[in-house]
Amino acid sequence: MKADIHPQGFRPVIFDDVEAGVRFLIGSTVRTSEKAKWDDGKEYDVFTVEISSASHPFYTGKKVTIDRAGRVERFKARASKAKK
């Protein structure tokens, strides 16, 4: 790796995909307060993501609606009121 080309705070971080239950160890500068052990026995910072290549429909080929905040239901309610 070339010296002095990465930003300050660049280190290995575990990205935890909650949808697929998959974890990735990737170099990043993301800030986090959680820590977890990786397969090598070392402890790394953990960043939780809702979607990654393991759960994204483009990569998996599965059609999935991810709606954590109830946006789809609110949209459907507004659309049904507008039709009436």
**Per-residue pLDDT tens digits for 12-65:** 999 998 878 889 999 999 989 999 999 999 999 999 887 777 776 666 666 666
Q: Where are the domains of the chain?
A: 11-83
pLDDT at 60: 66
Name which residue leads in pLDDT, 71 or 79: 79
pTM (two decimals): 0.62
1 band by pLDDT with thresholds 50, 70 and 90: low
Distances (CA, A) of 26 to 43, 45, 71, 80: 13, 11, 31, 44
Predicted pLDDT at 43 = 95
